[in-house]
């Protein structure tokens, strides 16, 4: 038996391990990986290049405790709300970290295997997974300084004593790419003397050492637990920083990509319907590398979309947005983009590098400050503080223009942004506050001292029910956005992998063409990005003369295929030749 030929799965696993750990006995390590995951080596590989999504897939991004009702577990409250109010809109729920934590609203995990009792129980996650796809956060780069692992590290016992990345404080670490301004290393007194541990994000978030294969095995156990609890979509948080080599940038290193390939190999053999999403808030061309050759992330966050779209809507100029979209190659079958406009984090500015000039970026930042936003910084290799992200709610970010400030077009601008995001190639993801038009929570910022808290409002369900059932902008946003989602979910031309071409209609209009995979439905999406009426001629779209064309948003039928269309400020059309309705489940 010792000389039995290796299975295809074993061969692939060993190949990945050989890149990551070239000096180890990787045949033995591969056996440990398979045993940890309880995988039979003979398990067949899933068919490659499968699209595990369709046009009806829409994701909700939320903390487990964003919605709270007295004497009810927040996870239960969330489940009830999504099932009763969003079942015809949402197919997947991204639960931001719901584990015991010490800081950063969950991203400083103390225990990866336990649900925070203040949120609920594992049973609540399992129940949610029965009605919706659930995406869980795998906070893989670091854990809390108050975790048992780190307590063990200080005491010199396992598990934990060898789990964290140490560095020489005298080493040249000037090339390391930083997302924060805090010192990279933290001095710690341990049983074995003074040590300096690596802290990419904060001194409460200690980076894990994946040079130790035991750390990899530990995370395989964690992932298997999540799979057993019904989680099928995995968000790899801050994964770009995973591997460190002093003297390099310590970001996007080959070993990091190889670990992602290994995790995907294991996860999709355990559950072929699983999906991996990489969260890499970095310049656009670097971000695209996380598709690999359709063997790394199934989806990557479209990080350049939020700042570029917001910039276009507040300046009235779509040139940079259009140029960026033209540079985005169509994703291979089996991969696609995760499109979003807001999240629990701020609006990342690194993804604008090479896309917006310094002057344009400064104008955007100043505009967002004018609308109540805050600016978080990072430290460059030269030791300079540089804007890293804008912290602001999407509702406030779109409250006016760069030239004139707040105006009467806030709602129209907000809906236009949602309309762009929903129509682009990829899977749309709505941060829960973008469904309600939640405003900047400055009181929460004061309470936490963290700028990101501005967009992490906690809704009491009585208050939310009230504003959604009375004539408020919250009600208007919720009703309008959910109606638009329902229209979007029914259109084959909005399949995440449907054909997309950018149209050239001047800087005031942003337009593109989508065509369904079977080529039966064509759809022209045209947006007025300004606060003034804009005209265009239907002859510019080259409509098929024998087809009937209807704007899915207004339901207006366009019989004159050569006629002129006037779009009011921030108005848009989804002009389709075949109108579809979502089939009832």
Is 142 one of the annotated binding-site residues?
yes
Q: Is residue 398 within 8 Å of 417, Cβ to Cβ?
A: yes
Burial of 566 (0-12, 13-18, 19+ CB in 10 A): exposed
In this structure, what is the dihedral angle of CA atoms 296, 298, 301, 304, given to the nearest 10 degrees? 80
Residue 237 designated active-site: yes
DSSP states of 98-128 as a string? -S-BSSGGGTSBS-TTS--TTT--HHHHHHH
CA distances to 145, 184, 240 from 203, in Å: 8, 8, 19
Q: Where is 377: in which H helix or E strand?
A: strand 374-379
Is 236 one of the annotated binding-site residues?
yes
Pairing relationship of beta strands 193-198 and 185-190 according to DSSP bridges: antiparallel
- Number of neighbouring beta carbons within 10 Å of residue 217: 16
d(CA 44, CA 272): 10
Q: Is residue 209 within 8 Å of 163, Cβ to Cβ?
A: yes
Is 235 one of the annotated binding-site residues?
yes
- Token pair recorded at residue 41: 């080596």
Q: H-type helices in 198-343, by residue range?
A: 213-228, 254-270, 284-288, 305-315, 319-327
- Token pair recorded at residue 356: 């917006």
d(CA 116, CA 340): 27
d(CA 542, CA 250): 49
Is 452 one of the annotated binding-site residues?
yes
Is 184 one of the annotated binding-site residues?
no
- Token pair recorded at residue 583: 């089939």
- Of 57, 65, 207, 237, the catalytic one is 237
Is 237 one of the annotated binding-site residues?
yes
d(CA 523, CA 549): 9
Show binding-site residues for substrate.
104, 142, 235-237, 344-345, 452
Show binding-site residues.
104, 142, 235-237, 344-345, 452
Provide the annotated active-site residues.
237
């Amino acid at each position: 038996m010792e000389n039995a030929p290796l299975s295809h799965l074993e061969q692939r696993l060993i190949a990945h391990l050989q890149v990551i750990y070239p000096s180890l006995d990787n045949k033995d390590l591969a056996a440990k990986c398979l045993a940890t995951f309880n995988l039979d080596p003979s398990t067949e590989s899933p068919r490659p290049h499968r699209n595990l999504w369709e046009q009806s897939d829409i994701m909700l991004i939320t903390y487990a405790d964003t919605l709270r009702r007295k004497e009810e577990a927040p996870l239960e409250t969330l489940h009830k709300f999504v099932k009763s109010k969003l079942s015809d809109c949402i197919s997947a729920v991204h639960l931001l970290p719901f584990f015991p934590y010490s800081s950063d609203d969950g991203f400083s995990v103390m225990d990866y295997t336990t649900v925070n009792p203040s949120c609920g129980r594992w049973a609540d996650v399992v129940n949610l997974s029965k009605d919706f796809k659930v995406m869980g956060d795998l906070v893989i780069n670091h854990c809390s300084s108050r975790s048992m692992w780190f307590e063990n590290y200080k005491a010199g016992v396992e598990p934990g004593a060898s789990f964290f990345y140490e560095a020489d404080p005298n080493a040249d670490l000037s090339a390391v790419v930083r997302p924060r301004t805090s010192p990279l290393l933290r001095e710690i007194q341990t049983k074995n003397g003074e040590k300096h541990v690596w802290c990419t994000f904060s001194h409460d978030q200690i980076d894990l050492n994946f040079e130790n294969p035991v750390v990899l095995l530990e995370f395989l156990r964690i992932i298997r637990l999540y799979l057993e609890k019904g989680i099928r979509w995995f968000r790899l948080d801050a994964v770009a920083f995973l591997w460190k080599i002093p003297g390099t940038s310590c970001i996007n290193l080959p070993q990091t990509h190889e670990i992602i390939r290994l995790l995907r190999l294991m996860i999709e053999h355990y559950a072929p319907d699983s999906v991996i999403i990489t969260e890499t808030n970095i310049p656009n061309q670097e971000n695209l590398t996380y598709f690999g050759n359709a063997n790394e992330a199934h989806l990557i966050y479209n990080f350049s979309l939020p700042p570029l779209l917001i910039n276009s809507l507040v300046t009235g100029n779509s040139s940079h947005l259009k140029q960026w979209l033209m540079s985005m190659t169509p994703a291979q079958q089996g991969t696609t983009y995760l499109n979003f406009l807001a999240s629990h984090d701020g609006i990342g500015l690194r993804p604008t590098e090479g896309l917006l000039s310094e002057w344009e970026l400064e104008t955007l930042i100043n505009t967002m400050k004018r609308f109540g936003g805050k600016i978080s910084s990072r430290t460059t290799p030269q030791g300079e503080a540089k804007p890293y992200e804008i912290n602001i709610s999407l509702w406030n970010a779109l409250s006016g223009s760069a030239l004139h400030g707040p105006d009467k077009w806030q709602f129209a601008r907000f809906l236009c942004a949602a309309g762009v995001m929903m129509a682009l190639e990829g899977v749309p993801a709505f941060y829960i506050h973008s469904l309600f038009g939640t405003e900047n929570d400055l009181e929460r910022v004061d309470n936490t001292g963290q700028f990101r808290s501005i967009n992490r409002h906690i809704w009491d369900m009585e208050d939310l029910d009230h504003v959604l059932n009375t004539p408020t902008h919250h009600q208007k946003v919720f009703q309008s956005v959910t109606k638009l989602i329902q229209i979007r979910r029914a259109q084959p031309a909005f399949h995440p992998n449907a054909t997309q071409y950018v149209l050239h209609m001047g800087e005031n209009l942003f337009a593109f063409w989508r065509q369904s995979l079977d080529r039966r439905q064509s759809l022209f999406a045209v947006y007025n990005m300004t606060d003034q009426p804009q005209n265009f001629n239907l002859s510019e779209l080259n409509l098929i003369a024998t087809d009937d064309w209807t704007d899915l948003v207004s339901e207006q039928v366009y019989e004159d295929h050569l006629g002129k269309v006037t779009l009011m400020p921030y108005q848009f059309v989804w002009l389709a030749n075949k109108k579809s309705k979502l089939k009832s489940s």
